[in-house]
Amino acid sequence: MTISIEEERTYKIHVGGVTVTVTEGELVELYQKLRSILGSKVKRGELKLTVPSGIPKDLSPIAQAMLAVCRKYHKGYQNKAYAGVIADEIAKEYPVVAALYENRRKLVYATIFPGKMLVERGLLKMEKDKDGYRQYWSP
């Protein structure tokens, strides 16, 4: 089986002699249905996202999505956002990435290590509030 990106957010899936064209939303739905039927036998595999130019290609899908939404919505300190807000934006902008996680809580948790790495590389800034919750923004 191969999956190729034909247009932004449209994919062609080739299985045997059959080709199916699906949108990103339909691909997420298909993945979730397969996961519910097959359980843990469905592997994440390699996911290639369509992200804005300037996003490093060597990042994981969650890191690419996190950096993209921070650059789009959270430019500058005054626009900093909690990881939960960023996770919601990832789910909206990149549903294929969100589908890799069972629920919102796991998606929020999944931003911790990519967020730390993005901060270390100087791609994002981060501070913790008085309760220890992380807030990120794009410099």
**Domains in the chain, ordered, with CATH?**
2-41 (no CATH), 61-137 (1.10.10)
User: Once rounded to an integer, what is the mean pLDDT over residues 24-46?
Assistant: 65
pLDDT at 96 over 60: yes
Q: How confident is the model at residue 45 (pLDDT cuts 50, 70, 90)?
A: low
Token pair of 22, please? 């699906």
Neighbours of 117 (CB within 10 A): 15
DSSP letter (8 states) at residue 37: H
pLDDT at 119 over 90: yes
Q: Which of 71, 55, 61 is nearest to 28 (CA)?
A: 61
Q: Is the pTM of this model over 0.75?
A: no
Q: How far apart are CA 83 and CA 80, in angstroms?
A: 10
Q: Which residue has the tokens 């967020």?
A: 115
HSE toward the beta carbon, residue 41, CA cutoff 13 A: 6
Neighbours of 136 (CB within 10 A): 23
The pLDDT mean for the chain works out to 82
